[in-house]
Amino acid sequence: MPGNFDLKFGVSSCLWADHDLCEGIAAAARFGIKYIELSSDSFAADAGDEEYLSGLEAAVHRNAVRLVQVHIGGDAFDLSTDEQIGSRTPLENLKACVRLLPRFDNPILVIHASDVIMLTDDRKRRLDTCKRNLAALVEFCAGHGAMVAVENVFDMTGCGCPAFLLGDNEAEYREIVNSVDSQHLGVHLDSGHAYISGDLVEMLEAAGDRLCSLHLSDNHGKTQRKLPGAKYLHWDEHLLPGEGDTDWRGFMQALRAIDYRGVVTLEVNVPGTLDQRIHAVLKAMEMLRGLW
């Protein structure tokens, strides 16, 4: 029977972005969280820093946690361009990340199809470059036994932003993820982005068995709101599940119906001390578990 097992919940390290990475891992483990997403470009930027990598590896083993996914983004990892950032192209930077994954039991590499692109740029050219580089990246992953997943995004122009992300509409996102036929390429669904874009449950059902990882957070949809310090309207609030307008009962039932067996990772911003943040995350996980 689909869903006849216990869900595995994890948390993104963005929860403690203002703390030491290994300190946050230890705190999460202390409260029983065993699945961690590393949301840090340092994984690639410090690829040659053995002290950094050894410290991360030691923290993972010492606290008996599993690094389930590595989430990276920014212009240094933008597959829609071949321009060098420093001494390497984005594709070369991503390959450097893939080489490190076996060291951490091959977590899923979660990426966006592109970084932010100005509306004046040539969208078709950037899309073609993205698909070509994605094919090369997936082939490289296959040679290392790794998995890459492309995350869905939303149309930022509605927020007043004069730029876009590739894959910000369903048709283009499907074109990107369907451009490579490989078991080493999967779908990463961000619930917050999906809720802003349209029908969250429909997008979940469409992902089906290609869904290999999740980001869960809440928001109020396309509500006109501006966060403190933000230049543009900000729909993607990264609230705890239950603090926005998402139909979590419907989402969890749909997740159960497709027999999802991966980790459910909360990618949220929570105020308070580190312990208070983790307590809040655990409460949200318990709420979601009750809807399973």
One-character DSSP codes across 103-116: GGT--EEEE-S-S-
- Considering the domain boundaries, does residue 189 fall inside one? yes
CA 178 to the chain's CA centroid: 19
Write the CB contacts of 125 (distance below 8 Å, at least 6 apart in sequence): none
For 156, residues 6+ apart whose C-beta sits below 8 A from its C-beta are: 116, 163, 164, 165, 168, 232
* Token couple for 5: 């097992």
Cα gap 224→158, rounded to integer Å: 10
In a domain, 134, yes or no: yes
| Residue 34, in any domain of the structure | yes
Q: Which residue intervals of the chain are DSSP H helices?
A: 21-30, 42-45, 50-62, 90-100, 123-143, 170-177, 191-197, 200-207, 248-257, 274-290
> Quick check: is 139 in a domain?
yes
Q: Tell me, what amino acid is at 250? A: G
Domain of 118 in residue numbering reads as: 8-290
Specify if 2 maps to a domain.
Answer: no
From first to last of the 292 residues of the chain, give the pLDDT tens digit. Answer: 455 557 899 999 999 999 999 999 999 999 999 999 999 777 765 555 888 889 999 999 999 999 999 999 999 999 999 999 888 999 999 999 999 999 999 999 999 999 999 999 999 999 999 999 999 999 999 999 999 999 999 998 887 889 999 999 999 999 999 999 999 999 999 999 999 998 889 989 989 999 999 999 999 998 766 666 666 667 899 999 999 999 999 999 999 999 999 999 999 999 999 999 999 999 999 999 999 8
Predicted confidence at residue 117, as pLDDT, reads 96
- Measured in degrees and rounded to the nearest 5, phi and psi for residue 271 equal -80, 170
- 23: in domain: yes
The rounded distance, in Å, linking the Cα atoms of 43 and 240 is: 26
Query: pLDDT at position 1, please?
Result: 47
Q: What is the pLDDT of residue 225?
A: 66
Give the three-class secondary structure for 289. helix
Number of domains in the chain: 1
CB contact at 8 A, 24 and 37: no
CATH code assigned at 285: 3.20.20.150
